[in-house]
Amino acid sequence: MKSTPQQLTLFLLVAALLVLVASACQTSRGFGQDVEKLGEKIQEKSK
């Protein structure tokens, strides 16, 4: 099976997109945890 330059380009674009999506999930998870901790601190201070 011979790959054409277009197939290689498409494969590389899909691979790059998967990497970006995976890193975005990690980032949003970390952001959610930070917001949760901030909310806990606010609740502690309001008591």
Of the segments 3-7, 11-15, 34-38, 42-46, which one has the largest average pLDDT value?
Answer: 11-15
Predicted local confidence at residue 1, as pLDDT? 58
Query: pLDDT for 7-34, tens place per residue?
Result: 889 999 999 988 888 777 777 778 888 8
Predicted local confidence at residue 14, as pLDDT? 92
Q: pTM of the predicted model, to two decimals?
A: 0.53
Predicted local confidence at residue 35, as pLDDT? 85
Q: Alpha helix locations (H) across 1-47? A: 5-46
Amino acid at 4: T
